[in-house]
Structure 1
Amino acid sequence: MAAPPGTATGRPEARRPIEATHPASSYLGKLRLLVALDCLLVEGSVTRAAQRLALSPAAVSRLLGQARELYGDPLLKRSGRRLVPTPRAESLRNRLRALAAETERVMDRNVPGTDRAEPDAAVLESWRREPIVQAPPLAMRPAFLLDDEPGPEALAQQLSGIADDGDPRRRLAKYIAVVGRKSGNSRPLTLTESRDAFTTILQGGADPMQVGALLRLISYRGETAAELAGLVQAARDSFHAGSAGVPDADLDWPAYPSPRSLRTPWFVLSAMLVVDAGHRVVMHGSHAGGRLERAVETIGIPVALSVAQARVTLGERNIVYMPLAGFGARLQGLMSLYPLFESRSSVNSAVHLLNPLAARTILLGVSQPAYRELHRDTALLLGHDDLSIVASSRDVAECNPFRAMTMHRLVEGRPVDLGTPAQPEPLSQGIGGLTSLEYWMAVWSGAARDARATEIIILSAALALMTIRKAANEELTAYRRLAAALWDRRHRSKPAHRPR
């Protein structure tokens, strides 16, 4: 029997993937790439784009690779939990959306064959009038948010027309629309837009409903490095941070633990060792149930309530603690919205990178893997070349030697990862009838010996010293020894550093 046409053996010809039959160089292949790129820009995820296109994630990844080759640009980069478009991809967004929208209209059988006539301008004008009753601020409805959803090109024109609007609430409404439009028309804020939006909020020019809307929309979608960097810059502008008059701060050590945290603040003792090594350390944080502030006061670290006061204090004592409520009251207010949402916002991430005295290096504590990369990318956008991110604790840089962990570093602008194996965990001696605070002080004074706490303190101090001195990863053992030596001779500290 003769073989069926199109085959050599009688077996059906294997079906080739469409991207093989229509490569990127062909007309149909290019159209396919544009559709895939539009979907990737809308979804911000290869997996979700694949579901929407009814393709496998591997196929969508191949299409993205072809689009990158076609345009000679990465097009989409990972930041936090999503893919963020490059400036080149952002410039294509509205044109791709318009192409997709026009395709849908062409394929829609219900579209009439003739276009609807545009209404006469005089007829439109006759219906316009001022409202009988002005809506209160919380019910504000900006004029450009129309009931009839505009197309992508009209939307772009509407939003660009408000770029220099003098009304801060109207300008902030523009940014909420940018982030919160329906799928396909929304996008992340640029660094400049984020800075302007949060400047408006921190200057008190925003409606309370706008504040909540913007924070929740950004958090729901996932912050980008550009959005966090803009927020940090707006915050720094609000409390006039900068390098002028700063007496060469060596390390910024933020600490923003959850109010629900019961963790003993051993890292404060690590900071004391770093100061004993001759370095200047700036600590800042929030009340967080009072544990951090109680520890600072008990150990004798001076407290400054403004940037100016902190500069003077750092020059005199080599260490200072700055409560966020003192130098950034509005930021503290935004963080205090947690009970209203029962979830964290972008502000909780941004405060770690405030660096209010422009220290040369930064030591962060970030537990979630995606956010470690996000903080490192944000630091680069802010011009920070030297920092370390501890992965074993949340919201404060305190190492846990008894878990294998990866520390994410920037050393002179180069991303470097440092992995450490888990150590055997010694048994804690117990507090023996002392309060937790009394036991903490007893460990510092030597009245109590706790091998487990000592290892935490020494490793945290070692990483801080490595960060300050921009040391290579292989020098960790040497810095452990240095931190251990500082711990052994801590009682010979200068009087200014002794506990009260």
Structure 2
Amino acid sequence: MPARCRFRTNERKQIQELVVETVEAPGASGLNRLRLLVALDALLMEGSVGGAARRMGMGTPAMSRLLAQLRSFYGDPIFIRTGQGMVPTAFAESVRVRVRALAAEAEALLEGVPQVDMAAGARRPPVERSQAILPAPPLASRPVLKLEDQPMPEDIARKLALISESTDPRRKLARAIALIGGGAAGSRPLGQEEAEEAFSIVLEGQADPIQIGAFLTLLQHRGLTAVELAGLVSAARRHCGALPVGMRHDTLDWPAYLSPKLCLAPWFLHSARLVAQAGHKVLLHGHHGSIGWLNQAVTVAGIPVCASIRQADATLEERGIAFLPVTAFAPQVSALLSLYPLFELRSPLHKVVHLLNPLGAARSLLGVSNPSYPAQHRDAAQLLGWRDFSLLGTRRDVAQATPFRSTLVHRLKDGMSSEEAVASRPDPGGEARPALSSLEYWQALWKGQVRDERAHAIVLATTAFALQLCEGGSHGEGYSQALAKAGELWALRPVSK
């Protein structure tokens, strides 16, 4: 690039930065605030800060600062970052048409249409304009090839408004699908109430099967937000008759939705037994039946399997620990989970089940394997008003610690979120296993018939995290004390069971 061109480009960007500073200055004029709306239009049209910056002929840092000003001015994030990129918020979508109309009108005014002398009926020559310091920003929308009968954005908006007024459940669900599947420039995340209403339609059997597939697939493909997850969980909990969270203040909720592709030993069941031995009531819930050998382990361990929420509630009072299959308390959710073979990919239901908490336990202990999920689950739990919650980053979708690598724990304590890192300990390595089946070996560890330092450490670490949650401890000294107590409980366990 010639030196003169480079100079002019740099000069233009410096001027753009100066304009941004002027917008940010206290008491900025209405004209400069209008520039914020121009920036908002560019952001909504392009769907990214970089694209909007190119559209307006400025640097990306300058556009980022304009976005920050928009967020501050409106008190709204404007965009939410998901796995599929930046998605406009509900507020941003609500002003999209107005901002686009304003930008289009400004463009028309800047086109310099020849003026007409209405009295003389003759055209006057266009007014000679001095060269502006800044070139007019490109306000026009992207060129659209309008096919015959192709709806324009305004037509779609009117149709969505009509659908929102309809009482037909399928039309309401259609609106939700249109909102999340409208593409980069036309979609947005659902609000919590919108997600709850849409999923309620699915759970109540009022949706067309094709709508169910479209709804779940679009949410999964675009990336579920914590707000949407909270809405889906609310619908699922209401549908299955779950008790209000916090109703059972003495109970620990322990979801165990293991993938059927994993056949690893469920050492966490030994930990759950130790926590119950310590006097805390423990409700496990998850898949049961033909999936893996979790059902066999539950039976061998003597953990009662319940057929309803009411039975689980009574069993906890009597036995202190129970397992509640998802088919028993949420058959519709279980049926939706069974759609996995039709898609060969996970759906939002695989996140929802971890937060079902059917007995309304005051505390929940979760584990998820995907590193992008923990904060989302915690934030959704916080939106739902949960107070005490711990989530372990694990190798499987159940709270089972791996003490031989550092563990990041996402917590809610008295409703306040935090993250705590627990350092790893040396891995003692695997043990030479005797000629026992996996289930026999798993039970032999509890009975003291085999020695496996690695499995023993997993059981104690998992127990410690659960005790720490139940007894209100924090990281550091609290975890060390819980780990020591876990060792004492292990030494006193009833090996005959």
Q: Return the TM-score normalized by structure 2.
A: 0.81
Tell me if structure 2 keeps the 8 A contact 1:255–1:286: yes
Aligned partner of 1:170 in structure 2 is 171
Stretch of structure 1 that moved more, 169-178 or 268-277: 169-178
| 1:70 corresponds to 2:73 | yes
List aligned pairs for 1:387-402, cutoff 5 A: 387-402=389-404
C-alpha distance in 2, partners of 1:52/1:433?
69
| 1:200 corresponds to 2:198 | no
Aligned partner of 2:494 in structure 1 is 491
| Letter aligned with residue 300 of structure 2 | T
C-alpha distance in 1, partners of 2:58/2:338?
44
| 1:276 corresponds to 2:277 | yes
Q: How far is 1:51 from its partner?
A: 7.5
In structure 2, do the counterparts of structure 1 residues 291 and 28 end up closer, same or farther at CA, with 3 Å as the change threshold?
farther
Match of 2:464 among 453, 462, 468: 462
C-alpha distance in 1, partners of 2:108/2:322?
63
Q: How far is 1:469 from its partner?
A: 2.2
Stretch of structure 1 that moved more, 33-42 or 170-179: 33-42
In structure 2, do the counterparts of structure 1 residues 203 and 251 end up closer, same or farther at CA, with 3 Å as the change threshold?
same
What SS does structure 2 have at the residue aligned with 1:360? strand
C-alpha distance in 1, partners of 2:458/2:269?
11
Aligned partner of 2:190 in structure 1 is 189
What SS does structure 2 have at the residue aligned with 1:491? coil
C-alpha distance in 2, partners of 1:45/1:443?
55
Q: How far is 1:194 from its partner?
A: 1.0
C-alpha distance in 2, partners of 1:245/1:32?
49
C-alpha distance in 1, partners of 2:63/2:345?
33
What SS does structure 2 have at the residue aligned with 1:289? coil
- Map Cα deviations across residues 59-82 of structure 1 (whole Å, 9 max, x no partner): 443222122233344444557775
C-alpha distance in 1, partners of 2:431/2:30?
73
List aligned pairs for 1:62-101, cutoff 5 A: 62-76=65-79, 88-99=91-102
What SS does structure 1 have at the residue aligned with 2:292? helix
Structure 1 runs not aligned, ≥5 long: 109-145, 493-497
Stretch of structure 1 that moved more, 255-264 or 156-165: 156-165
- Map Cα deviations across residues 337-381 of structure 1 (whole Å, 9 max, x no partner): 111111111111111000000000111112333321111110011
In structure 2, do the counterparts of structure 1 residues 254 and 64 end up closer, same or farther at CA, with 3 Å as the change threshold?
same
Q: How far is 1:58 from its partner?
A: 3.8
Q: How far is 1:384 from its partner?
A: 0.6
Tell me if structure 2 keeps the 8 A contact 1:251–1:468: yes
In structure 2, do the counterparts of structure 1 residues 250 and 176 end up closer, same or farther at CA, with 3 Å as the change threshold?
same
Structure 2 runs not aligned, ≥5 long: 112-147
What SS does structure 2 have at the residue aligned with 1:485? helix
| Letter aligned with residue 422 of structure 2 | T
| Alignment RMSD (CA, Å) | 3.1
Q: How far is 1:29 from its partner?
A: 4.9
Q: Return the TM-score normalized by structure 1.
A: 0.81
Aligned partner of 1:216 in structure 2 is 217
C-alpha distance in 1, partners of 2:90/2:316?
41
Aligned partner of 2:437 in structure 1 is 435
In structure 2, do the counterparts of structure 1 residues 238 and 49 end up closer, same or farther at CA, with 3 Å as the change threshold?
farther
C-alpha distance in 2, partners of 1:260/1:414?
35
In structure 2, do the counterparts of structure 1 residues 367 and 82 end up closer, same or farther at CA, with 3 Å as the change threshold?
farther
- Map Cα deviations across residues 423-449 of structure 1 (whole Å, 9 max, x no partner): 110022232111111000000111111
In structure 2, do the counterparts of structure 1 residues 451 and 67 end up closer, same or farther at CA, with 3 Å as the change threshold?
same
What SS does structure 1 have at the residue aligned with 2:494? helix
Match of 1:19 among 17, 27, 30: 17
List aligned pairs for 1:115-126, cutoff 5 A: none
What SS does structure 2 have at the residue aligned with 1:490? coil
Q: How far is 1:278 from its partner?
A: 0.3
**Matched residues, number:** 448
